[in-house]
Structure 1
Amino acid sequence: MAEKSSEVFSAEEKQAMKEAAAERKAQAKAKDKREAGTKAVRDVIDKLDGSDRAIAERFYALVTEHAPDLVPKTYYGMPGFANADDKILVFLQPASKFKVRYATIGFEQPAKLDDAPMWPTAWGVTKFTDADAKTFVATLKKAIG
C-alpha cells in the first residue's frame, strides 16, 4: 500500500503558487506590461536547462513571430503569452517545473479552439520538430481567432 502524505500540495505546487502571487503583484505595478512581461519570461527561460530550454526557446520564438499582439507574461512561474484582455492564452510548462517526464504546451480558456464538442487544449512535448512547429502555429492562429 502506498504511503499517504499529509501534504495537500507538493513543494513544486507551493512554489508555483508563490510565483503566481509575486507575478501578479509585479504585473500590476508594471508601467509597460510588454517590457516587464518580456523580461520575466526571458528570465524564466534563461534558467532552464537541456530540452526544457530548447523547447522554451522555440515556443517563445514561434509565438513572438506568429502572434506578435500577444504579450509575454509568466504564468505560475512558466513562460506564457496573454491576449489583449491580459488573460493567458498559451503557456509552456517545462518538464522540470513539476518533475515530470515531458513539457506541456497548453491553451487556456480564452483560446478559441472549441468548435466541436471535444478538442485538445495541451500537448506533451519532448522535442519540438519542424512538423510540430507547423502544427503548433496553426493551432495558435486558430486560438487567437
Structure 2
Amino acid sequence: MTTENAADETAGFSAAERSAMKQRAVELRAEGKTGVKKADGLQAVLDSIAKMEPDDRMLAERVHVTVTANAPDLSPKTWYGMPAYANADGKVVFCFKNAGKFSTRYSTLEFQDAARLDDGEIWPVSFALEKWTPRVAARVTELVKAAIS
C-alpha cells in the first residue's frame, strides 16, 4: 500500500475504490436494462485491458487468452471496472485486478465464491502476478480449469 492510499483510507474510501464502485454501478445499470450479452462483455473487457499501463495490459492479455482457450463457457465481463469471467449463472468466477488501478505492487488474479478451488478448511483465492512466464502460464491454466471443474 502506498502512503497516498493509506492517507486516503483513513478518511474513507480511496479515490481508486470510489472509482471502482462507480464503475460497478454503471455495470449494474447496463445489466439491468438489457442483460449484458457475451459480445458486449467481451468488448468491455477488451476496453478495460486497453486502458491499463503496459505491464498490466500484457498480463491481462495473457490471462484473457488463457481463459478463452481453457474455459470457453465463461463469459467475459467487467466487474468494478476490472476484467472478469462469469459462469452461466452470471456469477463472477474470477477477475484480474491490475496493479495500476489501485497503486499496488503487483496485479492479482482473484477468485470468487463461484470458483471451485476449495481445499480443506483454508485455501488461497488471490494470486499475485508479477510477470508472465511459462511456469505462470501453466499455473494460471491449472487454476482456471480447477475453478470451473
Deviation at 1:115, TM superposition (A): 2.8
Matched residue, 1:129: 133
1:88 paired with 2:86, answer no
* Matched residue count: 144
**Which residue of 111, 136, 147 corresponds with 1:143?**
147
Deviation at 1:109, TM superposition (A): 0.3
Q: CA RMSD in A?
A: 1.7
Mind listing any 5+ residue stretches in structure 2 that lack a counterpart? none
1:66 paired with 2:91, answer no
Identity score, percent = 42
Deviation at 1:4, TM superposition (A): 6.3
Aligned equivalents of 1:30 and 1:56: distance in 2? 27
Deviations 1:40-93 (A, max 9, x none): 101000111221010010011000110000000101000010001101001100
Mind listing any 5+ residue stretches in structure 1 that lack a counterpart? none
Aligned equivalents of 2:114 and 2:102: distance in 1? 24
Relative to the length of structure 1, the TM-score reads 0.93
Structure number having the greater helix percentage: 2
| Aligned pairs (5 A) from 1:48-59 | 48-59=52-63
Aligned equivalents of 1:28 and 1:47: distance in 2? 25
What secondary structure is seen at the aligned counterpart in 1 of 2:88? coil
**Which residue of 95, 98, 102 corresponds with 1:98?**
102
